[in-house]
């Protein structure tokens, strides 16, 4: 596999990350637009252009600070705005908008695996290792984003079927914005790491066999 400290490895990781996050966010925008909400389109987010989806703080500064203090790097692309009251099918339409991003990463992982198998690439070559990393990254993005904690995408799915008391709690958490995510990463996520790791490994085994 590509060395974690090699410049080539870092470059491949960053390129894979930019592609994966840009595709993820643009699919949110396209799904919202298809369901009748043009908020993202009005703000120029109906595109896979990465410059439209990068947030200076959460995509660049936050992971740099975490690395500086010895924590695992964590970043968030600029959330795609959408109005849940303007999409068709109400809460279920909003859930589809939420699902569009993570499912796009599963699709990218499938494309990566397909390329590995169709071209019969050999383990240890640069192309094989690059695609393998691309698959791993997209599965990890899918698993993380499906955690049903606001404002992660999985919370949209949970909200569509949740009872009113739980919805009220989720709305309160989402109102915290980026601080809610920071608290989640440092307080709740460490407790979920075993579950997330298991699901991530399970999906990798399915995809990569």
Between the CA of residue 88 and those of 31, 32, 35, 84, 203, what are the distances in Å? Answer: 11, 9, 5, 9, 31
Instruction: With beta carbons less than 8 A apart as the criterion, state whether 131 and 115 touch.
Output: yes
Q: Name the token pair of 141.
A: 């993005």
42: annotated active-site residue: no
CA distance 199 to 191: 14
Residue 152 near residue 145, CB atoms below 8 Å:
yes
Which pair of structure tokens corresponds to residue 155? 């919370």
Cβ contacts of residue 171 below 8 Å, gap of 6+?
150
- B/e letters for 95-121, b = 16+ CB within 10 Å, e = fewer, are bbbbbbbbbbbbebbeebbeebeeeeb
Q: Which residue has the tokens 């637009």?
A: 33
Q: Catalytic pick from 25, 37, 129, 153?
A: 25
Alpha-helix runs per DSSP H in the chain? 7-34, 39-42, 62-68, 90-118, 126-145, 153-161, 164-174, 178-183, 189-208
What positions carry a catalytic annotation? 25
């Amino acid at each position: 596999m590509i060395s974690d400290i090699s410049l080539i490895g870092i470059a491949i990781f960053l390129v894979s990350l930019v592609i994966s996050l840009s595709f993820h966010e643009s699919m949110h925008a396209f799904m919202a637009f298809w369901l009748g909400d043009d908020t993202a389109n009005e703000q120029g987010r109906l595109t896979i252009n990465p410059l439209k989806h990068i947030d200076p703080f959460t995509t660049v500064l936050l992971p740099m600070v975490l690395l500086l203090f010895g924590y695992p790097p964590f970043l968030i692309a600029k959330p795609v705005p959408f109005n849940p009251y303007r999409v068709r099918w109400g809460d279920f339409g909003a859930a589809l908008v939420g699902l569009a991003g993570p499912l796009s990463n599963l699709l990218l992982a499938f494309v990566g695996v397909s390329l590995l198998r169709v071209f019969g690439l050999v383990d240890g070559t640069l192309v094989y290792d690059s695609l393998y990393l691309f698959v791993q990254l997209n599965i990890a993005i899918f698993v993380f984003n499906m955690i049903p904690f606001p404002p992660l995408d999985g919370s949209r799915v949970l909200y569509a079927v949740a009872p009113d008391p739980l919805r009220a709690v989720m709305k309160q958490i989402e109102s915290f914005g980026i601080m809610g995510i920071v608290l989640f990463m440092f307080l709740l996520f460490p407790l979920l790491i075993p579950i997330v790791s298991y699901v991530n490994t399970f999906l990798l085994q399915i995809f990569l066999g």
